[in-house]
Amino acid sequence: MRNETLRESNGGLGERETQVLHTIILHYIKTGEPVGSRTVSRYSGLSLSPATIRNIMYDLGEQGLLSQPHQSAGRIPTSQGFRYYVDHILASRDLQISTRIQIEGGFTPPAAELHDLIRQASKVLSRVSGHPAIVRAPRPAIGHIRHIQFINAGADNILTVLVSQDGLVQNRFIKCTELFSQDQLDKFSRYLNELLQNLSLAEARHLVLVQLEQERVLFDRMLAQALTLSQKALQAEADEELYVEGASQILDYPEFAHIDKIRALFRAFEEKQQLIKLLDQSLDSDGVKIFISPETTFPEMEWSLVASNFQRDQEPIGTLGIIGPMRMNYGRLIPLVQFTAKIMSGILNKWPILPR
């Protein structure tokens, strides 16, 4: 059971409390079951009676690090307990050579296009980790908007043309249940060009949301239609920035056996925006950033995200990560995420230019 090096805790717990918490977390990661005092006494390496262990477990519970699901059951780590473990107990670990070779093989042959590289990263990260992997692509090439145009593409398809201030053009097809004539779409385009010109995509998305709330009050149907259409167009741009691989692997954990949690999780994968916000927090962080429920935006699911940025010319341009239950094997997954990000950075730095 003690298969992990214990680093010295400097977070306020004493040596005995640290070892008890460490033992409970390792056992819980392995089994997913509450841990009793006799188990802790057997595996902790402490020469303490089960009664003394129970007192320490009670104190850890009073500090919010452990909880007791049932009166007669053992303890399980809380999100605070896992946070303490990650910040103060978990020691760094080197990745096994066989795992390094497996990850490197996932990038062979080397990709020449950015989308292919991102797909390689998400697939190998999911396959090697056994968890869903997500990759946040570099921010859209469109910087600030110069022009937006809607073109009727027939049936329920509308072609959106976005032109940046530096002349870059991106085309996006969006689906719309309501049919519009080209004349209506031209009116929408004129209104939105006045509203959104010179804004970044993030600023444009935020302004559209604000304006939608205001126009609902004003009951101006034309403006509301234009804003709703622009929201779909700008959202389509954002959705393409996130890749999810191996989503079904999360179902292997009993924590996600409840249908409501499954629905919430797959809704998060589908809508993507909350995941993008989390990954964006990792963009400017050094090393690996770990989000542990309920400090994330999905507290009801009790999950965690291990993420790291990847770089080009020493500038972070995207992020990748692994999603799983709170009882993920962080000691194994952290170096795995680090190494995959390092491989991606190395490939990106060999490209003469970053493909758009």
Give the Cα separation of 192 and 290 in Å (integer): 39
Residue 180: how many other CB atoms lie within 10 Å: 17
User: Three-state SS for 292?
Assistant: strand
Q: Which of 146, 142, 239 is nearest to 196 (CA)?
A: 146
Q: Assess contact for 291 and 299: CB atoms under 8 A.
A: no
Class of domain 15-89: mainly alpha
* Cα 236 from Cα 206, distance rounded (Å): 14
Candidate CATH numbers 1.10.760.10, 1.10.1200.10, 3.30.450.40, 3.30.300.130; the one for domain 97-139+241-350? 3.30.450.40
Q: Indicate yes or no: pTM above 0.85.
A: no
Residue 153: partners with Cβ closer than 8 Å, 6 or more residues away: 159, 173
Query: Under CATH, what is the fold of the domain 145-239?
Result: Enolase-like; domain 1 (3.30.390)
Using DSSP, state whether 3 is helix, strand or coil: coil
Q: Are 170 and 140 in contact (CB under 8 A)?
A: yes
**Closest of 267, 264, 284, 273 to residue 240, by C-alpha:** 273
Query: Taking the domains of the chain in order of start, what are their residue ranges?
Result: 15-89, 97-139+241-350, 145-239
User: pLDDT tens, position by position, for the chain (356 residues)?
Assistant: 444 555 555 568 999 999 999 999 999 999 999 999 999 999 998 988 889 999 999 999 999 999 998 777 799 999 999 999 999 999 888 999 999 999 999 999 988 888 889 999 999 999 999 999 999 887 555 567 888 888 888 777 888 887 877 676 777 778 777 888 888 889 888 888 888 888 877 778 778 878 777 755 455 666 777 777 777 777 655 445 788 899 888 878 877 777 777 777 777 777 677 788 788 888 778 889 999 985 656 656 778 999 999 998 888 888 999 999 899 999 999 999 999 999 999 999 998 766 55
Amino acid letter at 314? Q
Distance CA 107, CA 165 (A): 35
